[in-house]
Amino acid sequence: MYDVTDIVEIHQELEATQKEIIYKMGEIGESRSKETGNHVKRVAEYSKLLASLSGLTKKDAEVLFTASPMHDIGKVAIPDAILNKPGKLTSEEFEIMKKHAEIGYNILKSSQRKTLKAAAIVAYTHHEKWDGSGYPNGTKGKNIHIFGRITAIADVFDALGSDRAYKKAWNLERILELFKKQRGKHFDPKLVDLFFDNLEQFLSIRDKFQDSK
């Protein structure tokens, strides 16, 4: 017979295993586009921090922390020639690339697990923009799920500061200038304000999880 301690330990082990599998799936999506596992680590950490700062419960912040590495899982279905093209995509190629948001959502949406449901939301909404000019649905303002609005900031902040097939990393000054310009356009203005008010914490995460050279 199992005692209560054994049952709790089994539950904790199952939960830890689930989180690790979700994280590894996120890494698979990133590795196809030659991005590092540290990208998903940083996005997860930024997302959790911004969730906490925005007033989400500790539980919801933890759910987002676990779910956000899956934001680009739909990239598994995008051809390598588009995913790793060294330069600007054509309009036709970009239309194919945009499909990764809906593909990721379709992969995850039928799960009954809270974390995977959250991951489906993140995959589907992290390319929506505050002014309604994003994709896949052109959702606007607070109609975009808070998980998507948070992950959008985390993902863009990290992507701009990292080398990619199509660009070199931007310096911090240039990144911050973009966030100022895109406040209320691409990004939720209140979340951008929280980002700037707590910038040192985000930079600390960036420095802690740097890519190895």
Residues 24, 43: Cα–Cα separation, whole Å: 14
Where residue 133 falls (left for φ over 0; alpha for ψ -120 to 50; beta otherwise) is: alpha
Average pLDDT over residues 202-207: 96
- Catalytic residue (one of 19, 75, 98, 213): 75
Q: Which amino acid is present at 29?
A: G
**Helix/strand/coil for 192:** helix
At 183, give phi and psi (nearest 5°).
-65, 120
- The CATH code of the domain at 4-208 is 1.10.3210.10
The string of pLDDT tens digits covering residues 118-171 is 999 999 999 999 999 999 999 999 999 999 999 999 999 999 998 776 678 899
Please, which residues have CB within 8 angstroms of residue 75's CB and are 6 or more apart in sequence?
Answer: 29, 30, 32, 33, 83, 100, 104
pLDDT surpasses 60 at 99: yes
User: Comparing 21 with 176, which gets the higher pLDDT?
Assistant: 176
DSSP 212: P
pLDDT of residue 30: 61
Of 36-40, 78-82, 186-190, the least confident = 36-40
Of 11-20, 154-163, 187-196, the least confident = 11-20
Q: Which ranges constitute the DSSP H helices of the chain? A: 4-32, 37-53, 58-67, 80-83, 91-108, 114-125, 146-160, 172-181, 189-197, 199-208
Closest C-alpha to 82, from 70, 97, 72, 65: 97
Reported pTM: 0.88
pLDDT of residue 151: 98
Q: Position of tokens 């993902």?
A: 155
pLDDT surpasses 80 at 54: yes
Domain ranges of the chain: 4-208
Averaged pLDDT of the chain: 89
Residue 9's pLDDT band (cuts 50, 70, 90): confident
Q: Is 85 a catalytic residue?
A: no
Residues 150, 47: Cα–Cα separation, whole Å: 6
Please, which residues have CB within 8 angstroms of residue 13's CB and are 6 or more apart in sequence?
Answer: none
Of 20-24, 43-47, 159-163, the least confident = 20-24
| Letter string b/e over residues 56-72, b meaning 16 or more CB atoms within 10 A of that residue's CB | beeebbbbbbbbbbbbb
